[in-house]
């Protein structure tokens, strides 16, 4: 198993000067970027397949993992609502050991295959759902069992692992191998393997939201205005897209019920009911809702 290997060039690193040791750690992190670049075709396939399943508006995005990999998966998922307005009820996190494992190590939980199966079966997944399973080793019992149960139920399964021959990859419908090799600290996959996972998850989820029409002209048009900063950002987005004044953008945004997409259509000159109908017909995709607009 590559992630458990030892790099001889680092065997005496605990006696190196601090700066030299840090530089070596950083150098080893470049393997994460190379691994993700090599997996771009698989990430593209995973994104397209996930968008096809989730595009009808009912499917759930399920993140599964244990330990550091599980925490990284949850970290990716929790950003989807504030950034893209992805509904909370369409996000699920299956963490080995439950929520307690997010803030403290419960390493034995990763060996409980039955818990992984039971967690997925309780969700009653179907073809409209997408499950992303993450494990550096690709052999974690909880994660493999959860993925297997989801695939058997017809859900799309995307497996992400850092060992090229990992069972998790072989058992996934779409495998995403991130071959990062041995770590600076032998077996510490919270380092380079974790960095690769973070990058890959970030790319996959962001592109997925783009494919689902939650980004327009490089702007987060579904951002949830949960604080003062995001309220101001929402106003600026309406202004940037339409070219209207700050005052007009703010007024349209409030009239639209704080929905950036509807606000843009109102500034375009549509009445509220027509704007809502057009956006609904476009399944929330602003680009489709204003197809004849010159800024498209």
Judged by phi (left if over 0) then psi (alpha if -120 to 50, else beta), residue 183 lies in beta
pLDDT-derived band at 296 (thresholds 50, 70, 90) equals very low
Check: CB of residue 243 under 8 Å from CB of residue 237: no
Over 50: is that where the pLDDT of 279 sits? yes
Residue 187: its pLDDT value, please?
65
pLDDT-derived band at 243 (thresholds 50, 70, 90) equals very high
| Domains recognised in the chain with CATH numbers | 2-211 (3.40.50.10490), 228-289 (1.10.8.1080)
Annotated active-site residue in 20, 79, 183, 211: 79
Q: What is the mean pLDDT of residues 200-216?
A: 97
Over 70: is that where the pLDDT of 3 sits? no
State yes or no: is 183 an active-site residue. Answer: no
SS3 of residue 296 by DSSP: coil
Check: CB of residue 225 under 8 Å from CB of residue 209: no
Annotated active-site residue in 4, 110, 114, 254: 110
Q: What is the mean pLDDT of residues 116-139?
A: 96
Over 60: is that where the pLDDT of 295 sits? no
SS3 of residue 145 by DSSP: helix
State yes or no: is 8 an active-site residue. Answer: no
Residue 173: its pLDDT value, please?
98
DSSP 46: H
């Amino acid at each position: 198993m590559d992630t458990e290997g030892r790099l001889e060039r680092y065997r005496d690193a605990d006696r190196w000067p601090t700066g030299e040791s840090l530089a070596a750690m950083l150098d080893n992190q470049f393997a994460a970027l190379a691994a993700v670049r090599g997996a771009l075709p698989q990430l593209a396939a995973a994104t397209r397949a996930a968008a096809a399943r989730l595009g009808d508006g009912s499917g759930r995005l399920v993140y599964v993992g244990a330990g550091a990999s599980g925490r990284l998966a949850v970290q990716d998922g929790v950003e989807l609502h504030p950034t893209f307005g992805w509904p909370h009820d369409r996000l699920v996190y299956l963490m080995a050991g439950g929520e307690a494992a997010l803030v403290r190590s419960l390493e034995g939980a990763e060996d409980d295959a039955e818990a992984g199966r039971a967690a997925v079966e309780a969700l009653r997944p179907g073809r409209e759902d997408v499950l992303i399973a993450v494990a550096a080793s690709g052999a974690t019992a909880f994660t493999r069992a959860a993925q297997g149960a989801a695939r058997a139920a017809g859900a799309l399964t995307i497996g992400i692992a850092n060992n090229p021959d990992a069972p998790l990859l072989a058992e996934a419908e779409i495998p995403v191998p991130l071959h990062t090799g041995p770590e600076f600290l032998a077996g510490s996959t919270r380092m380079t393997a974790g960095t690769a996972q973070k990058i890959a998850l970030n790319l996959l989820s962001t592109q997925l939201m783009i494919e689902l029409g939650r980004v327009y002209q490089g702007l987060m048009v579904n951002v949830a205005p949960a604080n003062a900063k995001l309220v101001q950002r929402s106003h600026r987005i309406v202004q940037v897209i339409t070219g209207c004044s700050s005052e007009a953008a703010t007024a349209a945004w409030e009239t639209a019920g704080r929905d950036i997409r509807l606000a843009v259509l109102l500034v375009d000159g549509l009445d509220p009911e027509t704007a809502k109908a057009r956006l609904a017909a476009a399944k929330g995709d602003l680009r489709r809702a204003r197809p004849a607009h010159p800024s498209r």
